[in-house]
Amino acid sequence: MVFHVVLFRPRPDLSAAARADLVEAIEAALQRIPSIRRFRIGRRVTHGAGYESLMPVSLDYGAVIEFDDLAGLREYLEHPAHKALGPRFMQSLEASAIFDYQMQDGDELRRLARTE
C-alpha cells in the first residue's frame, strides 16, 4: 500500500465560502479518482505527550489517502480532479507537509525480516 500523508494548517483568514469550495473540490476528487482506496481526515489531538512540544510547527489537520501501489498514487496526482484540487488546496493553507510512504502490515515486516 502507498499512503499519501498531508498535514496542514488552513489560513486563518480563509472565508467560509473558500472552506466550502475546498471541501467540494476534495469530495469531487474522492468521487472521480478510482485509484483512491481509502481517505481519512481529522484534526490533531494533543494529550500531553512529550513529543508534542518538540514539533517545530503545529499542523492542525491531517489527511491520509491510501492507494494499492505507486501507479495508483501517480494516477491520482495526474487526474484532472486532483489538478483542480491542488491549487485550491495550497492557496488555502498557511503551512503544510506532504509525504508519500510505501507501507506494509506488521506481519509482513516480520516475514521480510526473517527472509532477508
Condensed to tens digits (0 to 9), the pLDDT of residues 19-34 reads 999 899 899 999 999 9
| Mean pLDDT, range 63-82, rounded to an integer | 97
Query: Nearest 5°: phi and psi at 6?
Result: -125, 115
> In angstroms, rounded to a whole number, what is the distance separating the alpha carbons of residues 76 and 35?
6
Structural domains in the chain plus CATH codes: 2-115 (3.30.70.100)
Q: Which of 35-39, 80-84, 89-93, 102-106 has the lowest mean pLDDT?
A: 102-106
